[in-house]
Chains A and B, each alone.
Chain A
Amino acid sequence: MRLEKFIEEFEEAVEDIEPGLLTATTKYTELEAWDSLAVLTVIAMVDAEYDVRLKADALKSYETLEELFTHVSALS
């Protein structure tokens, strides 16, 4: 698993984000596009791409994309 690829997939999942805009230190829950549909979509993306079942409330436990990536990596 690569962090860069994960960030690209995150950008693709959460629509209305310009490709290349996000970095490892982006605080994803503070994004303007971060709403209930984004939560549902990121969970489904992680399930489809990494076969990891995230819980919606677990997404609140992390701040940055790197932290989320580390969590997903540990579970995959």
Chain B
Amino acid sequence: MSGYVKFKNQQILVVGATGGLGGAIARHLMREGASLIVSGRNEPKLDALSQELGAVALPVDLTDSAGRAQLADTIGTVDGVVYAAGVAPVAPVRYLKEADAEACLNVNTTVPLLLIRDLLKTKKLKAGASIVWLSSVASSRGTAGYAAYAASKAGLEASARCLALELAPKGMRVNCIAPGMIETNMAEIAAERISSEALAAHLTAYPLGAGQPEDVAAATSFLLSAASRWVTGVTLPVDGGFSI
């Protein structure tokens, strides 16, 4: 298959590219020939990533409508959008901070929806574009301490199903990926609030063991590509068998 380039002449926007999963996804898509636009709030990390990948960097705050407008105005039309930004406050509801709960629902659920709205209004999504949102196994399983996070991801998946129906007439697709515990910075942060023993016990629920960012990147690539052209409105578990 020499000469085959999976995402030849395709522009893909990766939001949250400075995170562990977002960065892995961007690197994977670059290796498969995509032209990338990467967005994130950590400007030094974003600059380093864009130089490494030869990508266009947009260090904008997408929680702000002005930031979304700036992004929509700046980019050309895109073939795919990956939303990998997210926050995960870990606290029993009794001690859940209002600001943390609001930020979680905003960053994880509202912003990806508003971003797509703004890209649709400015006609930046090509016919046949594929949208992939990163959800979590937490959306369908109860876990103490994760009420806000689980709600945000369940909401994201519900939004994806509705948006998939709205965009199907344009040949656009919308899907989610629900990763289990992946060895990223977010998992390390969670480990700070969950003892190393509890985390090790949790990992025993994964028949294939803990996942790597590359596992999520490969699934994202599939959902962005024409290989999944008849797949829309679904949430793909990428969890090493956790949800079986």
- A residues near B, CB below 8 A? 13, 36-37, 39-41, 43-45, 47-48, 53, 55-57, 59-60
Contact = CB atoms under 8 A, between A and B. Distances in A.
Contact of A41 (B95, B196, B198): B95
A36 B198 contact: yes
B191 A56 contact: yes
B97 interface: yes
Contact of A47 (B91, B197, B198): B91
Contact of A39 (B91, B96, B198): B198
Contact of A36 (B91, B97, B194): B194
A39 to B, nearest CB: 5
Q: Mostly helix, strand, loop or mixed at chain A's interface?
A: helix
Interface of B: 90-92, 94-97, 144-145, 191-198, 201
A15 to B, nearest CB: 9
Given A56-B194, A56-B198, A57-B195, A40 B90 contact: yes
B92 A40 contact: yes
Contacts, number: 55
Nearest to B192: A55
Contact of B91 (A44, A56, A57, A59): A44
A57 B192 CA distance: 7
Contacts of A44: 90-92, 94-96, 145, 193
Contact of B193 (A13, A43, A48, A60): A43
A53 B100 CA distance: 14
Contacts of B198: 36, 39, 56
A53 B97 CA distance: 13
Contacts of B193: 40, 43-44, 55-56
Nearest to B91: A44
Contacts of B195: 36, 39, 56-57, 59-60
Given A37-B144, A55-B193, A57-B196, 4 more contacts: A44-B95, A45-B95, A47-B91, A56-B195
B194 A39 contact: yes
A48 B196 contact: no
9 contacts: A13-B95, A39-B198, A40-B144, A41-B95, A44-B193, A45-B95, A47-B91, A56-B195, A57-B196
A31 B89 CA distance: 26
